[in-house]
Amino acid sequence: MAKMWMIRGESGRLYDDFRERGVAAIGWSQLAPLAKPGMTRKEVTRLYQDIEPNIKPGTAISGASQVWRFINEIQPGDWVVTYSPANRTYLVGKITGDFKHNPDLADLGMSLTRPAQWQAQEVDRDSLSTASKNSLGSTLTVFVVPDFALQELKAMAAGDKPPALPPAEEAYPDSDPLAGMESLALERIKDLINALPWDDVQHLVAGILRAMGYKTQVSRAGPDRGKDIIASPDGFGFENPRIIVEVKHRKEQMGSQQIRSFLGGRYKDDRGLYVSTGGFSKDAYYEAERASVPLTLWTLDNLVRALIEHYGQTDSETKRLIPLKLTYLPL
């Protein structure tokens, strides 16, 4: 029976590259040319340790095991899925051939590739069951997806109704309860933010900016001419830097047209921050790079990381929106 493999390309950075090149890929550029089919995991691990003598044993075993699985266990006909943390979408496809070493793609983090046929329809993370979301939370680059999540992802990528799934407490067990804890926590915080109404997300962004040292004005609901929040040292927008913030809380990506519209109302001394929980298209990033005023784009992933970085300095109003607690884990 065909398996489904999660393959995370550079923590999601290669999501679009996978789709455009028709491949699934992993890095490990130093190990890639030396690992061969038929080698045991221990042999690949020893190779890794020879290449990097100072590497921690656990890191060597984990990395070598993922390279070994990519070369030896994944087969043509298997299903494959990858994830974009920025857009919170999964791309589902099928492996169509054998692995290949590509030294010319090493700098991109794609030293080892397998051809893949990706389906056109992406799967929104928020549309998945809790059990499937939990099973896809590991930080490993390569791992087997449990069958119930495979069936749900396949159905949703094909536009079909997903089958009945086990309850959340029967979700895919993790042999190490701490493995991937940080990544799982980030996704859970994203889930909480995604469930907020738009005006709460607007106040959350304002709260983060206040924690960063700015004073903020938050627009009321209604036409705001691209100014949901004004952040500045004085709180009135008279002193520079004056940051104009637009907040879009929807599933769709923002494109170049929305970025141009936002930039159209800016003055030369303004700074722009555009927040889109649905992410941005490539054209939107291109438009931001060539903008006449400095413009920063925040996806949901950027928003969560900014919240975590400044959470200790946020006020009680902001903490009520997303209650978090500090937890220490062993390295």
Neighbours of 130 (CB within 10 A): 13
* CA angle 268–298–209, rounded 5-degree value: 75
So what's the pLDDT on residue 169?
41
Instruction: Please report the DSSP string for 159-181 in residue order.
Output: TPPPPP---GGGSPP-SSTTTTH
Amino acid at 302: N
So what's the pLDDT on residue 205?
97
Write down the residue that tokens 């997300």 correspond to.
201
Write the CATH number of the domain with boundaries 194-321. 3.40.1350.10
So what's the pLDDT on residue 88?
86
So what's the pLDDT on residue 135?
86
In 3D space, the residue among 189, 121, 191 whose CA is nearest the CA of residue 156 turns out to be: 121
So what's the pLDDT on residue 171?
41
Give the three-state DSSP class for 5: strand
Chunked mean pLDDT (size 10), the chain, 331 residues: 89 89 94 92 94 90 92 96 90 96 93 96 91 82 92 93 62 48 83 92 96 91 70 82 93 92 88 94 93 94 95 95 85 63
So what's the pLDDT on residue 23?
96
The tokens describing 108, both together, are: 């991109």
Its sign, for the CA torsion 255, 213, 186, 68, is positive
Element (H, E) at 229: strand 229-232
So what's the pLDDT on residue 311?
96
Q: Tell me the sheet residues that pair with 298.
A: 275
Amino acid at 262: F
- The model's pTM is 0.68
User: Domain ranges in the chain?
Assistant: 4-178, 194-321
Given a contact cutoff of 8 angstroms between Cβ atoms, the answer to whether 158 and 28 are in contact is no
Q: Tell me the sheet residues that pair with 124.
A: 89
Residues 6+ apart with CB under 8 A from 242: 230, 231, 232, 269, 270, 271
Given a contact cutoff of 8 angstroms between Cβ atoms, the answer to whether 227 and 182 are in contact is no
So what's the pLDDT on residue 10?
75
So what's the pLDDT on residue 13?
85
* CA angle 17–21–25, rounded 5-degree value: 65
Distance separating alpha carbons of residues 24 and 9, to the nearest angstrom: 8
Tell me the fold of 4-178: ph1033 like fold (3.10.590)
